[in-house]
Chain A
Amino acid sequence: AQSVTQLDSHVSVSEGTPVLLRCNYSSSYSPSLFWYVQHPNKGLQLLLKYTSAATLVKGINGFEAEFKKSETSFHLTKPSAHMSDAAEYFCVVSTYGGATNKLIFGTGTLLAVQP
């Protein structure tokens, strides 16, 4: 079975400083991993995805994530936080098997950006 664990429920950074949101995965197969962002009372927007191509994945809004098989990690980073980055972030794995591939969500990390 596939699963993801987001290690921090809350992260607070100052504007202009780096962002690190941690995610570890568990999968019997080569996983397909995604990061989604959710602003308050909104739907989810895809930031980036890993699908077994390059291990360093670049996404929108300056975010990137690195797939590390040896560490079973897929941490999300950004060099310099902006106030508009304040939101909830979800690490997601896509499941194998069955008639339909499902998305399994992590518990989310709430990112606060201080001025």
Chain B
Amino acid sequence: GAVVSQHPSRVICKSGTSVKIECRSLDFQATTMFWYRQFPKKSLMLMATSNEGSKATYEQGVEKDKFLINHASLTLSTLTVTSAHPEDSSFYICSARVREGVRAEAFFGQGTRLTVV
């Protein structure tokens, strides 16, 4: 299957600083990538859809100024958590699809464990 690489896998940052998480599709081009947040022992919540060359589409309740998404190329999307606070601590996962369409499966990155202290 296709490979999606996410970096870093773990990050600890101080409250008030910003953290950038990268998501790369290694062997395919992805016009669309997805960012999820997963709370402990909970399901994945879609935060936003990252669109190459245009603005991201955020889900209701997700602060776009807090979670900045940039999809500058067909193989890279970044999520920046700005002015991080302890409540932003979570597991963030990105995904991408090889092709569009309702039947297309998604491939997921390994996830990033963010801890804000």
Interface residues of A (CB under 8 A from B): 32, 34, 36, 41-46, 49, 51-52, 90, 94-96, 99-103, 105-108, 110
**Per a CB cutoff under 8 Å, which of A42, A96, A110 touches B102?**
A96
Instruction: Indicate with 1 or 0, residue by residue over B26-54, a CB within 8 angstroms of chain A CB atoms.
Output: 00000010100000011110100101000
Q: Please give me the residue from chain B that is nearest to A29 by CB atom.
A: B102
- Can you report 9 A-B residue pairs in the complex whose CB atoms are below 8 A from each other? A36-B108, A41-B91, A43-B6, A46-B105, A90-B43, A100-B49, A105-B43, A107-B42, A110-B41
Instruction: Indicate with 1 or 0, residue by residue over B99-117, a CB within 8 angstroms of chain A CB atoms.
Output: 0111111111111010000
Instruction: Indicate with 1 or 0, residue by residue over B58-90, a CB within 8 angstroms of chain A CB atoms.
Output: 000000000000000000000000000000000
Say yes or no: A100 contacts B32, CB within 8 Å. yes
Say yes or no: B44 contacts A49, CB within 8 Å. no
Residues of A within 8 Å of B105, CB to CB, are 34, 46, 49
CB-CB under 8 A for A43 and B108, given A102-B34, A107-B43: yes
Question: What's the nearest-Cβ distance from chain A to residue B82, in Å?
Answer: 24
Interface range for B: 20 to 34
A sample of 8 more A-B contacts (CB under 8 A), given A32-B102, A43-B109, A103-B34, is A36-B108, A43-B110, A46-B105, A51-B103, A52-B103, A100-B57, A100-B100, A108-B42
**Per a CB cutoff under 8 Å, which of B6, B41, B49, B101 touches A102?**
B49
Residues of A within 8 Å of B104, CB to CB, are 94, 101
Residues of B within 8 Å of A43, CB to CB, are 4, 6, 93, 108-111
Say yes or no: B102 contacts A41, CB within 8 Å. no
Say yes or no: A95 contacts B102, CB within 8 Å. yes
Say yes or no: A32 contacts B103, CB within 8 Å. yes
Residues of A within 8 Å of B51, CB to CB, are 100
Say yes or no: B111 contacts A42, CB within 8 Å. yes
